[in-house]
C-alpha cells in the first residue's frame, strides 16, 4: 500500500512539473457552437470555440490549407490543440471550411474554390463574425495555402482585419506541376506526409508524436474523405518566380511564422518579408520545425509562445 501511495505521489509530481498550459488544459472546458453561413448558394461550415462560460471580446478566424480542412487546428491530445490554446488566451476561436472542404457543402467542380474564390468565403465568414460579435475588426490566421487566401481577403477588405498571421506562407509558386484533375485523391499516407521523416517513408517519432499523427489522419479521413477540391493546388503549383501573396497590399500588422525546415517555402522571400509589411509586423522562424510546427513535439509550444506574443502586442490598437 505504501509503495502504491509513493508511486501515486511521484506521478502527481511529474504531472505538476509539466508545462503549466498542459495542467490548465486538463481542467478547462470548452464550448463549441456551429454558426450558419452560406455564400454563393453553398453552406459553409463555421464554428466558434471559447472557454465555457466566457464571452470573449477578442476574435480570431483560422483558415486551413489546400487539402484538409479546419479540424487540423484542434487535435485534442495533450496541449497540441491550437484552438484550445487560443481559447485559453481569451479568444473566441472561429474555424471556417472553404466550399467543398470538410463540413462545408460540396462543389461539383473542384477547380471552383481557387484562391480568389476562397478569399471571398473568408470575407463572408469575417463579416458574419463581426456582425455577431459587434466588433469591427478581428484577427485572421492562415496556414499554408490559407496564407494565400487569407492575405488576399485582408488586402481586399482591410477594414475588418486587426492582425494577420501568415503561418508557413506560400509566398510564391511551389514548382510547376500538372494539376489536371478537379479533385485531389486523399490517402492516409498523404495526410501524414507533412510530418518529418528520418528517411523517405519513415516518420520521425522524435519530432512527431505517433498519437498526434494518428489523430490527424483519422480526422482527415472522417471530415475530408477521399477527395478535396484542387483549385488551390492548381494555383500554387506554378513556377517559383510567380508571387502568390502581395505583401505591399496588406495594411494590417502581420506575423509571418514558420519553421526553417519547410520544403514548401522560399526562404529568400521569407527572410525579406519585413521590407514589405506595415509597422509592428514580425518574422519568426523556428529552427528545426517543418510545415506542421504547431503539431511537432519539440516545437509546438515555441510556436504557440511566439504566436501569443504577437497577438498580445499592446502596440497594436484594439
Q: What is the mean pLDDT of residues 253-263?
A: 98
Q: pLDDT tens-digit profile of 133-176?
A: 999 999 999 999 999 999 999 999 999 999 999 999 999 999 99
Class of domain 20-311: alpha beta
Given the C-alpha cell 480542412, which residue does it identify? 69
Closest C-alpha to 22, from 79, 76, 81: 79
Please provide the average confidence, as pLDDT, over all residues in the chain: 93
Domain boundaries, the chain: 20-311
* pLDDT value at 23 more than 80: no
**C-alpha angle 96/37/50, rounded to 5°?**
55
* pLDDT value at 20 more than 70: no
pTM of the model: 0.92
Inter-CA distances, 124 with 142, 260, 275, Å: 15, 33, 30
Neighbours of 236 (CB within 10 A): 23
Task: DSSP letter for 105, please.
Answer: P
Amino acid at each position: 500500500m505504501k509503495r502504491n501511495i509513493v508511486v501515486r505521489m511521484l506521478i502527481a509530481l511529474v504531472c505538476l512539473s509539466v508545462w503549466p498550459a498542459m495542467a490548465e488544459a486538463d481542467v478547462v472546458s470548452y464550448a463549441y457552437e456551429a454558426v450558419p453561413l452560406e455564400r454563393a448558394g453553398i453552406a459553409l461550415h463555421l464554428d466558434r470555440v471559447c472557454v465555457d462560460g466566457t464571452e470573449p471580446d477578442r476574435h480570431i478566424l483560422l483558415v486551413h490549407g489546400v487539402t484538409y480542412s479546419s479540424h487540423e487546428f484542434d487535435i485534442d491530445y495533450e496541449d497540441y490543440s491550437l484552438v484550445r490554446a487560443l481559447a485559453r488566451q481569451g479568444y473566441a476561436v472561429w474555424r471556417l471550411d472553404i466550399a467543398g472542404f470538410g463540413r462545408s457543402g460540396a462543389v461539383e467542380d473542384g477547380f471552383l474554390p481557387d484562391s480568389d474564390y476562397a478569399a471571398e468565403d473568408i470575407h463572408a465568414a469575417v463579416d458574419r463574425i463581426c456582425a455577431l460579435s459587434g466588433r469591427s475588426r478581428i484577427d485572421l490566421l492562415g496556414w499554408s495555402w490559407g496564407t494565400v487566401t487569407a492575405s488576399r481577403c485582408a488586402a481586399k477588405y482591410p477594414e475588418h482585419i486587426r492582425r494577420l498571421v501568415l503561418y508557413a506562407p506560400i509566398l510564391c509558386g511551389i514548382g510547376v506541376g500538372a494539376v489536371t484533375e478537379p479533385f485531389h485523391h486523399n490517402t492516409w499516407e498523404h495526410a501524414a506526409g507533412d510530418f518529418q521523416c528520418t528517411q523517405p517513408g519513415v516518420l520521425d517519432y522524435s519530432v512527431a508524436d505517433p498519437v498526434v499523427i494518428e489523430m490527424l489522419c483519422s480526422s482527415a479521413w472522417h471530415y475530408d474523405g477521399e477527395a478535396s477540391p484542387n483549385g488551390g493546388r492548381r494555383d500554387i503549383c506554378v513556377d517559383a518566380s510567380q508571387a502568390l501573396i502581395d505583401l505591399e497590399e496588406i495594411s494590417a500588422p502581420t506575423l509571418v511564422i514558420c519553421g526553417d525546415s519547410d520544403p514548401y517555402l522560399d526562404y529568400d522571400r521569407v527572410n525579406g518579408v519585413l521590407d514589405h509589411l506595415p509597422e509592428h509586423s514580425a518574422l519568426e522562424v523556428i529552427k528545426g520545425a517543418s510545415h506542421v510546427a504547431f503539431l511537432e513535439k519539440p516545437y509546438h509550444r515555441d510556436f504557440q509562445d511566439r504566436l501569443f506574443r504577437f497577438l498580445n502586442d499592446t502596440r497594436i490598437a484594439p
